[in-house]
Amino acid sequence: MFVCILDKEEGKGGGGMETKKKKEKVSFVFCLIKSEEKVSGINMKYELRATLGTGSFAVVKLGVNRSTGQHVAIKQIDKKKYQAKCKSDAPDGFKNEFEILRNINHKNIIKLYDVFETEETLYLVLEIASGGDLSQKIVQQKILSENIARKVMWQLLCGIKHLHDGKIAHRDVKPENVLLKDNDSWEIKITDFGLARVLNLDQGTLTTLCGTPLFLAPEILSSHKLGLFYIYIHICICICLLIYC
């Protein structure tokens, strides 16, 4: 509300008598026209489009680089939801994903292009894989041929070996987290490093129980401590059985 002061003349009498000014307050309300909000942060570089997928604490949207037209996948991580779901783990665990991905360069692991952050959300700009995930392909085709199964498993093992060489444990390898580059090829991309951790130089095992129950090694459920190699052999066997049997 704005207050406007108006001068109102009021005469004392006739003839040449002086007049005095009486100040009268007149108030009125008017609407301000909001200026267009400035495009900032991730919206300055990328246009966010359709939703590609949703999870318990993240949403993945199609993004387009405004300068180059390149299509990307933008993963929006809700910090509060992540911390509520993973409160037993590191409180800033959502940052592990981009800290790990920015140091990885392998053809079978999803690439990280950009990172943006606000108080509530972490945005990861990732390589897009338009062929869907391996789980969808298994449902669609029922059984994959031996040649395709061998090709998929070889790439999966190569990607996992690259991670283990860098002392990185993915901790949630499953068909839903194995993407296909496009619909015309069987080139895979391991994705979703939300639960991944880097082992210390003298650390051979991790103790937090996490992952997807169907693909957990029995040794994890029984609290036996084994190296990463043995645990992921079990996971890869499970995936291989789903693909080929």
Please provide the distance, in angstroms rounded to a whole number, between the alpha carbons at the two ends of the chain. 73
Q: Which residues contact 196 (CB under 8 A, 6 or more apart)?
A: 96, 97, 100, 163, 168, 169, 170, 171, 172
Question: Could you tell me which of 185, 179, 127, 183 has the C-alpha nearest to residue 151?
Answer: 185
The structure tokens listed for 155 are 């790439």
Residues present in the chain in total:
245
75 in a labelled binding site: yes
| Annotated catalytic residue 172 | yes
What is 198-245 written as a DSSP string? EPPTT--------S-GGG--HHHHTT----HHHHHHHHHHHHHHHHH-
Q: Kindly state the tokens that stand for 10.
A: 């009021």
Out of 172, 184, 192, 202, pick the active-site residue.
172
- CA–CA distance, 31 with 220 (Å, rounded to integer): 63
What is the rounded distance in angstroms from the CA atom of residue 105 to the CA atom of residue 165?
13
Residues in binding site for ATP: 75
Catalytically active residues are 172
Residues in binding site: 75
